[in-house]
Amino acid sequence: MLIRFSLIAVCMLQSALAFCQSTDRYTIIPRPAQLEARPGEFIINHTTTISLPFSQTALKAIVDTFAHQLNRSSGLTIALRNTSKASQENRDTGSNLIQFLPSRDTTFSEESYRIDVTDKLVTIEAANPKGFFYAVQTLYQLLPPAVLGHGGKGMGRGAQGTESLLPDQNSLPHTPRPMPLTIPACRIEDRPRYVYRGMHLDVSRHFFHVAFIKKYIDLMALHKFNTFHWHLTDDQGWRIEIKKYPRLTQIGSHRSETIIGHYDDYDPQVFDGKPYGGFYTQADIREVVRYAATKYINVIPEIELPGHALAALAAYPELGCSPKSLSNEPYRVSTKWGVFNDVFCPTERTFAFLEDVLTEVMALFPSQYIHIGGDECPKTVWRKNAFCQQLIKRQKLKNESELQRYFVIRIDKFVTSKGRRIIGWDEILEGDSPKLRLSPKATLMSWRGIKGGIKAAQQQHDVIMTPGQFCYFDHFQGDPEMEPTGFGGALPLAKAYSYDPTPAELSPADATHILGVQGNIWTEYISTPDQAEYMIWPRAAAMAEIAWTPLSLKNYDDFTRRLAIHFERLATLNVNYARTIYDAIPTAKPTPEGKVEVTLSNENPSLSNSPGFPPPAIRYTTDSSIPSGESSVYEKPFVLEKSAIIRTATFLNDKALSQLAKVRKEFIVSKATSKPYTLLNAPNSSRPDKNYSLTDGTTAGMGGYEVAGIVSFKTDINVVIDLGQLELVERVRIGFLKYTAKNFCLPKQVEISVSEDGKTFTSVLTARTNASENGKRAIVRLPFDFAPTSVRYVRVIAQNVGQVPAGMRTPGKAAQLAVDEIEVR
């Protein structure tokens, strides 16, 4: 499902999208604050010179890297020239010159920049190296996407020893032919909307090597992010070396195995049986921090407390509230996902440990901020522990929530005493009381919606907005049935782009505490770099625009137009981005004639504003084969006269934009299709019947936690289908949901009865089924065959087993039945 571009595929996409470069000359993401388009273009060729004051070493490093990339991608040899005086009063007016001018403009912030492009001169102005750095990222996006390429493979070294996504020029097998590069004429005045523009990566659930971290940082820099939030510890792994506590990595960085699929996908749960581990040495940490600094990215470490502590407790059990876990077993690094009751115990030994850990962490990370977690801390063990209860009384706390606040404040005071500031998830506001006040410098990350952020800002705390419904990129971005395994929930690109981080409920004064926004990537179900990139991009590009671009300039149609060329950049950088916006999703409805009408649709972004240029074409097959450039073109809804598996793909000029072999959906046509029926037992209100959904021809979707398109029952299923006229019938096939971890069992028995008048029914089949079948959740289509019979009415009685059978995860619980489609043939 995760399909990486081959070199051929890249070339195909470049050809398919080449037309955009003539009409969409400014495809910059994030969109600049001001852009004045001009006719003409500046051509970089063998006569081009780049000038700058060499005495400004930070600027010199930026320009060295820029020139190195131009030369490497084009085969040119562009010279750098030193300018002794490079103020606005001393502009160089030479021909075919790119000049970098430090500015004294007092209106510039440290991240502001100005670019002026004519056919003879490119002028870049900024008051700070950060501004010049972001100006260069814009120049890369004004240039053709090929400027980010190289002509070779592998990792290499860029200017001044900084690692690059691309190989060193000397490593190439041959010198590329010199290639002119063009910059469209324009004037850009730009600055960011927010001071904090972050991306997060969880390396605790799955570990990612330093090479991937650096590539991630490179991509962040191209999109003008300035903060990397590195989630280093959790229940499933401790990933940072702490010299004073070596068992944290000797024991805490390794788990014995890893659960397969979602928590409830299998009954019983299935594990891969493979030991899993990995951690970053302190040398690794320093290297990443140093590298990020060259990209003007601040790295914020996260050390989780007081919850999400199992990996630490496995290494040092004395930090828990008892020598063993609540299950009376030794603490172990978790092999499952979720929230666990075993947490740090608030003893002096624990606080000494955490202070030691944070001291080493602060020595590695120069960041002003240290993230201490603070989320999802169950209180079960504290309620049962005598020491915790005595501590609550001694500190005159009301309850365990105030004990968590006490815990966080202890850490807050320690971090503040070292001249740093804490960030915590929004739970750090819980247990608030007049005597339990966080430091005014404590910053909150609002993830459970926006209410926590609003409350914190109103209390004059700085806030970073990162609500899950807009900012969690481990959620599905397309149809869950067709996407790689995700955490759950839907976050399509359009929804991610729609987010405004500043809540309307805040006053202008309180709104100043909204520092910015962050995209998060949790990795329970993301185990490889390819899959991580697929989940991150292009949603992170949308987040970049949210964080940088003025709200008044945000426009999704315009964003997707620019994204078409941006995809070409990502392909050049060997990024496994998702093309879900091009997925053509089939939906269907039954026709009165007993057939199924299928509609195909996608987000269909505008790739060009050129009048008369054809839009992308959706192609499809009905025989389960992968669509090609020769497959049928979708123009309007079409009718299926028999059951079929539909596959779709989106093409431009016969070149695939969407990922082939991805979109697949089964539709069923039978004698029951579109026929009315009577449910003699009412379905559950949580999964009701909607407009005769058991005979609408649409099968259930199995992606995500929830199963879409089913009707569920707490009792037996008792349904009578009216075929409308006498029909010769010999088979009934029913799609039952088997999801025993959620108490959905197959029926104990199924009886099929038939009638000509709807009053007198004759049983034609009674079949026992395997209600004890567990295993992986699925829609199980059970066929029931009998002698051909002429009937008008078909009654199905599926008998509920009553209780979940022994041997399953929830034995004795009330069992349910669920059905997606009933076929009659």
Q: Which of 189, 287, 376, 666 is catalytic?
A: 376
Residue 454 burial (CB count, 10 A): 20
Output DSSP code: residue 150. -
Report the distance separating Cα 67 and Cα 147, nearest Å. 11
C-alpha 356/C-alpha 100 separation (Å) is 46
Whether 706 is a known active-site residue: answer no
H helix runs in 378-475, sequence order: 380-384, 386-394, 400-417, 451-458, 468-471
Q: 416 vs 359, 411, 438, 453, CA distance in Å?
A: 12, 8, 10, 21
SS3 state at 294: helix
Cis peptide before 538 (omega within 30 of 0): yes
Find out whether 809 and 267 touch, Cβ atoms under 8 Å. Answer: yes
Structural contact between residues 306 and 372, judged by C-beta atoms closer than 8 angstroms:
no
Q: At what angle do helices 348-364 and 282-294 cross, to 10 degrees?
A: 50
Residues in the chain: 825
**Tokens 């009384």 belong to which residue?**
393
Count CA atoms within 13 Å of residue 91 on its CB side.
11
The alpha carbon of 89 is separated from its chain's Cα centroid by a whole number of angstroms, namely 47
809 CB neighbour count, 10 Å cutoff: 16
Largest CA distance in the chain: 102
Sign of the alpha-carbon torsion through 140, 141, 143, 146: positive
Q: How far is CA 689 from CA 58, 359, 390, 742, 818, in A?
A: 65, 59, 54, 20, 11
Amino acid letter, residue 413: K
**DSSP per-residue string spanning 10-24:** HHHHHHHHTTHHHH-
Residue-wise burial string across 554-593, b where 16 or more C-beta atoms lie within 10 A, e elsewhere: bebebbbbbbbbbbbbbbbbbbbbbbbbbbbbbebebbee
Q: Which residues contact 50 (CB under 8 A, 6 or more apart)?
A: 63, 66, 67, 78, 79, 80, 81, 97, 98, 99, 100
- 146: how many CB neighbours lie within 10 A of its CB? 16
Structure tokens at 752: 């099929």
d(C-alpha 559, C-alpha 252), whole Å:
43
> At 788, phi and psi to the nearest 5?
-55, 130
Q: DSSP for 755-794, please give it.
A: ESSSSS-EEEEEEE--TT--EE-EEEEEEEEEEEEEEEEE
Query: Is the separation of the CB atoms in 36 and 187 below 8 Å?
Result: yes
Q: Which two tokens stand for residue 480?
A: 């869950």
Distances in whole angstroms, Cα of residue 379 to Cα of each of 324, 328, 389, 400: 16, 17, 11, 6
Give the whole-angstrom CA distance, residue 157 versus residue 314.
40
Cα torsion 111, 116, 121, 122: sign: positive
**Cα–Cα dist 328/358, whole Å:** 30
CB 25 within 8 A of CB 160: no
Catalytically active residues are: 376
